[in-house]
Amino acid sequence: MILDQLVSTEADILCLQEVDSDTMTDFLQPQLSRSGYKGVFWPKARAKTMSEKDAKLVDGSATFYKIDKYILLEKQVVEMSNIAINRPDMKKEHDIFNRVMPRDNIGVVVFLENRMTGSRLIVANTHLHWDPVYADVKLIQTAILIEQINKMSERFTKTKACLDKGQGRYELPDENALPETESLQEPAPSMEYSSNTQVPFILCGDFNSTADSSVYELLSKGSIKPTHKELTEYSYGNFSKNGIMHPFQLYSAYSALDKTANKLAFTNCTPGFNGVIDHIWFSKNTLELGSVLGGVDSEYMKTVPGFPNHHFPSDHLLLVAEFAVKGRKEKKSHPEPDFGSSSRRRD
C-alpha cells in the first residue's frame, strides 16, 4: 500500500524516513526502479557499530529521484551527534554527551541537476529525535544539519558543469544512465550560481516538531536567540552563547494553507497523538510553490481512531508539494548613451 501511494504521486523526488536497510535493498529500490527511480540511503549512525545482521534492521532515510529528469551530482550523510561531539566549542559540554550524542539521527543530502533545464537543486531529508522531553536536542540536531548544508551548498556552487547529459554517455551508469528507450531533447547547459543561497533548496522530513517549537522557529525565521526557552537551560557551546542562525529563506509549504479552511490538521495521527510534525521546507527566493496535497477529510476521521489502517498504511501522512524554479534576475547591462561629438553643434 505504501508503494502504491508513492508511485501514484508520480513525484520527481521522494523523501522517506524510518526505512531499514533490508527494506531499502530488497523491496523499495527494486520496486521503485520499475517506475524510473534511483535511491540514496543511509541508516542511522549506530549501524556502523553493529554486526552486519543487526545493522540491516537499523532505520534511516532514503531519497529517490526520477532518473530521466535528474542527474545525481553529489550525495552526503550528516551524522548530527558525531559532528556535535567533535566541534571544538562542544567537546567539553556535558549536555552534548548526555543528551545529543546518544541520539544518532541523520540527514541525507543530495545535489541534483535537472537534465533538461540545467537547474540545480539541493534536497535534504531527515528524521529528528522523537521525544518531546528532548526539544533542545531536536533544535541542536536541526542547527547542525542546516549548518552542514550551508557549508555543502557553498561547495556545490563550485561544482563543474555537466558537459555530457545525453543518453548512454555516462561514466557512472549505476547512478545516472538513462534507459535505452529514453529520448531527450537537447538539454540546456548547467546553471551557475554566484552564492549558495541562489541554489534551490528543499528540506523534507519527520521533524517531530510542531509550529510552536524552536525547530520550526529556527527554520522559518532564520535564527534562534540563546535565551529561547528550549535552549537556555543547557550548554551547547557557541549555540548557547551566540544563538543559532542560517542564511536560507525557508518557508513551510503547508503553511500556505494555515489561513484557509483547508489548514492541515495533522501529519501524524494515532490514538495517543495528533499533530503536524512533518514538514516540507523550501527556499522561497528560488522556488515558487504551486500546490500541495490536501489533508484527510474530517468526516472520514470520525470513523477511525487513527493510523495506520486499511486506507492509510502509515501513521504519518504522505505530504506532496509541487514547485517551480523561479527565473533568475540577471543584472541588466545598458549601452553607454551616444551624445555625439562635443564639438557638434546642437540646435
Catalytic site positions: 206
User: One-letter amino acid identity for 111?
Assistant: F
CA distances to 185, 210, 291, 318 from 204, in Å: 31, 14, 16, 12
Alpha-carbon span 80 to 25, nearest angstrom: 24
User: One-letter amino acid identity for 224?
Assistant: I
Alpha-carbon span 47 to 58, nearest angstrom: 6
Alpha-carbon span 99 to 260, nearest angstrom: 39
| Contact criterion met (CB below 8 Å) for 168 and 184 | no
| Contact criterion met (CB below 8 Å) for 287 and 325 | yes
Task: Return the DSSP state at 223.
Answer: E
Cell of 112: 541534483
| Contact criterion met (CB below 8 Å) for 74 and 94 | no
| Contact criterion met (CB below 8 Å) for 278 and 229 | no
| Contact criterion met (CB below 8 Å) for 155 and 122 | no
Alpha-carbon span 176 to 167, nearest angstrom: 10
